[in-house]
Each structure stands twice: as structure tokens, then as C-alpha cells.
């Protein structure tokens, strides 16, 4: 890997970790604060607030992080395919890819179901427990991905220090 492509690979790896960390944090805060707080509210308030959240979260900034985490991690895995720490990046792709699939297969359809008309109590009954459970799954998976990307960054840094300490003849 040339110095320029190595620097680009490091930048992409770092950006993947930041984007994945932001999304993991969003899922975490829902698990630790938003949903427990909403659990204290009555059915009408719960449904209204979740509908509002579902509306406002569909914005370019969130989508950039949500999709960007997957794309950047995938690009990083491809860029670092020959490096010894590449398996950490591939593990991150797998973990975040699963979190992404959980969101698309479970959380988004539940959000869409909450948008239907009906009695707030019935809507909440169908939504709350499964959505909370799947959110915890995606929070754990995306946090695992962040940890794997962090480990890959450590490997990247060590590899950079090793190559910088080598003389032109290949000796130390």
C-alpha cells in the first residue's frame, strides 16, 4: 500500500468508526432514555411522540450516518483487504450489516405500523415491546461494530509505526 493510499484507508477507517459510533449512540440513547421515558406516558402521548420521532429522524443528517456507516465500513474492508487486521473490519461489516438489516426488517416496519390509524392502546401494544427488543439488538450489534473498528484502528496505527521504523533496506 502506498503512503497516499494508506492515508486514505486510515481516513476511511476512522470515518467508518465515527459514523458507526454515532448510530450506535443513537440506538443506545433510545434504549437507555427515550423508550424508558416514553414507557411512563399514556398511550396517546406515546404514539404521538413516536410518530413525531419517526417523522423527524428521516432527515439527511441521520441518513448520512446510518447509510454512511455501512458504506464506509464496506469501503474500508475492501481497502484493507491485504492487511493483517482486516478481519476486525470484516467483523464490523458483519455486525453493522446485521444491525442495518434488523432496522430495515423489524424497526422500520414497526414504525410504519405505528403510523396507521387506530386506537392508541392497540397501536402501542403491537409496537412497544418488539420495537424496544429489536432496538437493543441493533444497539448491541452496532456497538460491537464500533469495537471492531477501534481494534482495526489500533492495528492500522501499529502497522504505520512499523513501516515508518523500517530503513530503506528493509531492516530495523
Contact 88, 148 (CB under 8 A): yes
pLDDT at 38: 98
What's the CA gap between 74 and 89, in Å, rounded?
8
pLDDT at 119: 97
What's the CA gap between 165 and 73, in Å, rounded?
28
Contact 83, 159 (CB under 8 A): yes
Q: Smallest Cα–Cα separation from 99: which of 53, 31, 49, 150?
A: 31
State the chain's maximal CA–CA distance in angstroms.
76
Q: Tally Cβ neighbours within 10 Å of residue 114.
A: 21
pLDDT at 1: 61
Grid coordinates representing 106? 423489524
pLDDT at 4: 65
pLDDT by residue for the chain (172 residues), tens digit each? 666 678 999 999 999 999 999 999 999 999 999 999 999 999 999 999 999 999 999 999 999 999 999 999 999 999 999 999 999 999 999 999 999 999 999 999 999 999 999 999 999 999 999 999 999 999 999 999 999 999 999 999 999 877 666 545 555 4
**Residue listed under C-alpha cell 444497539:** 139
pLDDT at 164: 65
What's the pTM?
A: 0.91
Q: Residue 9, Cα to own-chain centre: how many angstroms? A: 19
Q: Residue 40, Cα to own-chain centre: how many angstroms? A: 27
What's the CA gap between 16 and 51, in Å, rounded?
29
What's the CA gap between 172 and 170, in Å, rounded?
7
pLDDT at 165: 63
Amino acid at each position: 500500500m502506498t503512503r497516499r493510499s494508506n492515508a486514505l484507508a486510515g481516513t476511511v477507517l476512522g470515518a467508518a468508526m465515527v459514523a458507526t459510533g454515532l448510530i450506535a449512540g443513537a440506538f443506545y440513547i433510545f434504549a437507555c432514555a427515550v423508550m424508558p421515558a416514553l414507557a411512563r406516558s399514556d398511550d396517546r402521548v406515546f404514539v404521538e411522540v413516536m410518530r413525531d420521532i419517526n417523522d423527524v429522524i428521516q432527515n439527511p443528517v441521520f441518513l448520512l450516518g446510518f447509510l454512511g456507516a455501512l458504506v464506509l465500513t464496506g469501503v474500508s474492508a475492501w481497502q484493507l483487504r491485504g492487511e493483517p487486521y482486516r478481519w476486525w473490519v470484516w467483523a464490523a461489516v458483519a455486525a453493522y450489516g446485521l444491525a442495518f438489516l434488523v432496522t430495515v426488517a423489524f424497526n422500520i416496519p414497526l414504525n410504519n405500523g405505528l403510523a396507521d390509524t387506530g386506537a392508541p392502546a392497540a397501536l402501542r401494544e403491537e409496537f412497544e415491546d418488539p420495537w424496544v427488543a429489536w432496538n437493543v439488538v441493533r444497539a448491541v450489534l452496532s456497538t460491537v461494530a464500533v469495537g471492531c473498528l477501534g481494534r482495526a484502528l489500533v492495528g492500522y496505527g501499529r502497522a504505520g509505526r512499523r513501516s515508518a521504523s523500517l530503513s530503506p533496506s528493509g531492516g530495523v
